[in-house]
């Protein structure tokens, strides 16, 4: 039983890692499903770019918005701000809430960046998008050392219907894929570096030492858990009392309850 | 046993997420079934547009109406309004009930928008609808760089009976599908954005803090549960008393019971 | 039961070894997956070098950053350094923290070096990178004693589409692979040597004897374990007390708690 507890505690400590791994697997699976089932490059001069870009950026945008949606901290900070704008800038400096916003935003960016990386490493969407580019400069770059047909048939390269020779087509496809993957790795490294710098900065500015910080993190977690239990308990008691008084048609018994100001303070 | 409780509580907290996932799966499955079994484009100049649009918007309308049907809040607000129209506009401002209506309407819109997105991402319905368009401008756009036959045969493209070459037909089909999917992603992103803005707005205008809000949400849930139990209990007791007094043919014993006004108030 | 304890203790002692073996297996598996699924040399003069280098160094960079991320010691040293730069250089000599930084960095280098070795021993990435080199000196070296075509077709060697004879192509491929593996073994030997020297140096400079050192290592481990348990316990108690006082709307009972200075000292 003790061993089981140890294993459980180990997994609880690695919660964040497990969560991110799960998210990565989900993203990869989703990308596979999309590029298999739904994605089919139109191979059309006017639409390729818009279509490819939609599949690259659309899901990323949706993931970003979902990330903001499920952020408890955003709503905790945000509630009642219209009625009391002073809350965002207590004592004249808006810097604190700006930093919290940055923090929330960067947290919500994890999933979209993951999607972008997975999609770019696979390369299907980028292929379609870039083959529809109409800019002369780009087309010249792609069709260097190729026959004249290349310029006309560029948009048909992702599909199997171009009039180019199989060799030329293969070459173009491999080039697109290589560009896509290089771009994907660049995004991965840049975002990892930015994440490291950000963590450095926040840790650097914190007034408390590292061990104290870990203690407070654990405290906050525990408090959230306990808050849930306590809230459920109190809500249950309150509901029973109110309904009893309603059905029996008499005055409710007094009930100890935190006032409005106390709620404001703990938020 | 404790572990099981934790798992159960986790799933209860994710109730909304699970519900929406279930709804999404149901929508996708329904769309598949419809487009496989029931949908068959007439490939006819005059009917294509109406037929495609019916399949796109018909189920969406039905889902909207169903959503309004099963909204408890709508009926709670609405009962007795005909007899007492003042109830909708207490103290002269109808703004409050208008906001509640907006709220209910947006909640009922989730399923129709989901249907629209799934149907557009699949593209079968849109294909049929758009190929029946008669407008010269649109047809010119579709048949650019194509043979003259294209204009005549446009309506037959979704079926396999057009006289166009397989290549041309494929090109048109891919173009329609691309348009449909781009449109679908646009709707997804716009509705996600609107949802985020709406949540921002309601949270912004709320007078209570976020934690208090979560507490009240839980309280309302509990109250509903308790109300069910209490109501069943009291109804049982009342029925027994009345029947007893009826069979024993004597006056019913007095019974504490909330009066009519109290019922009105809690609604 | 006693035997089980012995086995468990044996494995606990070999924790580091098991961890490194696991990491090595993961690296090898990851390299295989990447070179099978994702990697496809573009066989293009301009891109080969960038593409191959991206796959060689990109994952290594990501692993380095991840290693720094999960280093507890780095953050323990680093917190609060901006607010109090004196902390990094206590009593005027920055040598101590510099040594700790070196230590942390070398620890984080293990995984990237492992990746480099595995990738070079396999040779796929190096092949692609080196075949895209444009430098005359290198090309001359590669194409010594070969036909003139060799210079033109060098970039197409990793793919199966070059116009060289199968014999010549095979010769070039084997040469590339041999270079890659020699490079890989060099890196392995150099890093092992550097690791040995580093351990020698730190043991040489330590004031305590080897047995004392092993005792301290074990003590530090135990302390960390105990700290976790104690912190969880105290956080739980504190959270319960605060929430109880909040819901019952009265003053919290006093709670013994270490002050800020004590936290600073133990970090």
Nearest chain A residue (CA) to C258? A212
Q: Residue range A93-111: average pLDDT?
A: 79
Residues near B132 by beta carbon (within 8 Å), at least 6 away in sequence:
B44, B45, B46, B47, B48, B49, B50, B51, B52, B155
Check residues A14 and B201 and name the one with the higher pLDDT: B201
Token pair 């509705």 is at which residue?
A: B191
- Which residue, among C252, C234, C254, C255, has the nearest Cα to C243 in the 3D structure? C252
In C, which residues are within 8 Å of A214 by CB distance?
231
Say if A250 is an interface residue toward chain B (CB within 8 Å). yes
> Residue B211 and residue A76: Cβ atoms within 8 Å?
yes
pTM of the model: 0.74
Distance CA C261, CA C266 (A): 9
Q: What is the pLDDT of residues C126-156, one digit of tens each?
A: 888 888 777 777 777 777 766 667 777 777 7
CA atoms within 13 A on the CB side of A213: 17
Portion of chain C with pLDDT greater than 90, in percent: 5
Q: What angle do CA A23, A24, A28 make, to 5 degrees?
A: 115
Tokens of B120: 């557009």
Residues of B in contact with A237 (CB under 8 A): none
**Confidence band, pLDDT 50/70/90 cuts, at residue A187:** very high
pLDDT: which is higher, C227 or B128:
B128
Query: Going by C-beta distance under 8 Å and a sequence separation of 6 or more, which residues neighbour residue B78?
Result: none
Query: What pLDDT is stored for residue A131 in this prediction?
Result: 82
What's residue B170's pLDDT? Answer: 79
- How far off is chain A from C213, nearest CA to CA, in Å? 23
Tell me whether residues C240 and A226 touch, CB distance under 8 A.
yes
| pLDDT of B89 | 63
Distance from CA of C97 to the nearest CA of A (A): 15
Q: Mean pLDDT over residues A39-61, rounded?
A: 84
Q: CB–CB of B258 and A247 under 8 A?
A: yes
CB-nearest to B218 from A80, A231, A247 is A231
pLDDT digits (tens, 9 = 90+) for B95-127: 767 777 787 888 888 888 888 888 888 888 888
Residue A188 Cα to chain centre, angstroms? 14
Q: Which of B84-98, B204-218, C10-24, C82-96 has the highest mean pLDDT?
A: C10-24
Asked if A42 and B174 count as a contact pair (C-beta separation under 8 A), the reply is: yes
What's chain B's Rg over C-alpha atoms?
Answer: 28
| Average pLDDT value for residue range C203-211 | 72
CA dihedral C220, C225, C231, C236 (to 10 degrees): 180
CB contact, 8 Å: B189 with chain A? yes
* Mean per-residue pLDDT, A13-25: 77
Whether the Cβ atoms of residue C114 and residue C67 lie closer than 8 Å to each other? no
Looking at every residue in chain A, the average pLDDT score rounds to: 75
Q: Mean pLDDT, to the nearest integer, of B9-16?
A: 66
- A247 vs B122, B222, B230: nearest CB: B230
Reported as a pLDDT band with limits 50, 70 and 90, residue B30 is confident
Mutate to test the interface with B, among A41, A76, A78, A235 (most CBs of B within 10 A): A235
Residue C92's pLDDT is 61
B177 vs A contacts (CB less than 8 Å): 40, 42
pLDDT at residue C185, rounded to an integer: 93
pLDDT for C248 beyond 90: no
Give A117-170 pLDDT, tens digit per residue: 988 888 888 888 888 777 777 777 777 766 667 777 777 777 777 677 777 788
- Neighbors of chain B by Cβ distance (3+ pairs < 8 Å): A
Q: Which whole number is the average pLDDT over A72-85? A: 64
Q: What is the pLDDT of residue B190?
A: 92
Task: Name chain B contacts of A38, Cβ cutoff 8 Å.
Answer: 121-122, 181
- Which ipTM was obtained for this model? 0.71
Q: Residues 6 or more apart from A235 whose CB is under 8 A from it?
A: B215, B218, B219, B221, B222, B223
Q: How far is residue A99's CA from residue A105's CA, in Å, rounded to a whole number?
A: 10
Is B177 part of the contact surface with chain A (CB cutoff 8 Å)? Answer: yes
Mutate which of A15, A43, A75 to disrupt the B interface (most B C-beta within 10 Å)? Answer: A75
Counting Cα atoms < 13 Å in the Cβ hemisphere of A114 gives: 22
Residue B158, burial from CB neighbour count under 10 angstroms (0-12, 13-18, 19+): buried
- Please, are residues C182 and C125 in contact by the beta-carbon 8 Å criterion? no
pLDDT reading at B256 higher than 60: no
Backbone angles phi, psi at C44, to 5 degrees: -140, 130
- Cβ atoms within 10 A of the Cβ of C149, count? 14
> Which value, in Å, is the radius of gyration of the alpha carbons in chain C?
27
Count CA within 13 A, CB hemisphere, residue A111. Answer: 23
pLDDT at residue B140 tops 80: no
- Tokens of residue B133, six digits: 């368009």
Task: For residue A231, give both structure tokens.
Answer: 């809230």
Mean pLDDT comparison of A216-225, B249-258, C51-60, C211-220, highest-scoring range: C51-60
Give chain A positions within 8 Å (CB) of B225. 239
Name A207's Cβ contacts closer than 8 Å, sequence gap at least 6.
C80, C83
Checking if the pLDDT of A267 tops 50, the result is no
Q: What is the mean pLDDT of residues B231-255?
A: 74
For chain B, percent of residues with pLDDT exceeding 90: 1
Compute the mean pLDDT over every residue in chain B, rounded to the nearest whole number.
75
Q: What is the mean pLDDT of residues B79-102?
A: 67
Residue of B171, B200, B207 with shortest CB distance to A83: B207
Tell me the pLDDT of chain C averaged across its residues: 76
* Averaged pLDDT for residues C68-73: 74
Average pLDDT over residues C229-258: 67
For residue B75, give how far its alpha carbon lies from the nearest alpha carbon of chain A (Å): 21
């Amino acid at each position: 039983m003790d061993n089981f507890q140890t294993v459980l505690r180990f997994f609880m400590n690695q919660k964040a890692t497990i969560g991110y791994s799960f998210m990565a697997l989900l993203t990869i699976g989703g990308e596979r499903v999309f590029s298999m089932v739904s994605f089919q490059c139109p191979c059309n001069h006017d639409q390729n770019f818009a279509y490819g870009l939609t599949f690259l950026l659309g899901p990323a945008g949706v993931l970003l918005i979902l990330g903001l949606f499920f952020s408890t901290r955003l709503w905790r900070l945000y509630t009642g701000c219209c009625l009391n704008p002073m809350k965002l800038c207590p004592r004249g400096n808006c810097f604190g809430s700006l930093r919290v916003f940055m923090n929330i935003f960067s947290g919500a960016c994890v999933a979209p960046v993951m999607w972008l990386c997975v999609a770019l490493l696979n390369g299907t969407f980028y292929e379609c998008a870039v083959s529809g580019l109409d800019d002369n400069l780009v087309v010249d770059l792609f069709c260097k050392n190729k026959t004249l047909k290349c310029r006309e048939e560029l948009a048909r390269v992702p599909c199997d219907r171009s009039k180019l020779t199989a060799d030329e087509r293969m070459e173009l496809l491999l080039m697109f894929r290589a560009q896509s993957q290089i771009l994907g790795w660049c995004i991965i490294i840049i975002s990892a570096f930015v994440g490291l710098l950000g963590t450095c900065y926040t840790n650097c500015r914190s007034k408390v030492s590292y061990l104290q910080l870990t203690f407070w993190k654990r405290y906050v977690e525990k408090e959230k858990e306990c808050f849930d239990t306590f809230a459920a308990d109190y809500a249950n008691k309150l509901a029973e009392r109110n309904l009893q008084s309603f059905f029996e048609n008499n005055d409710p018994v007094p009930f100890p309850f935190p006032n409005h100001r106390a709620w404001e303070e703990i938020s």
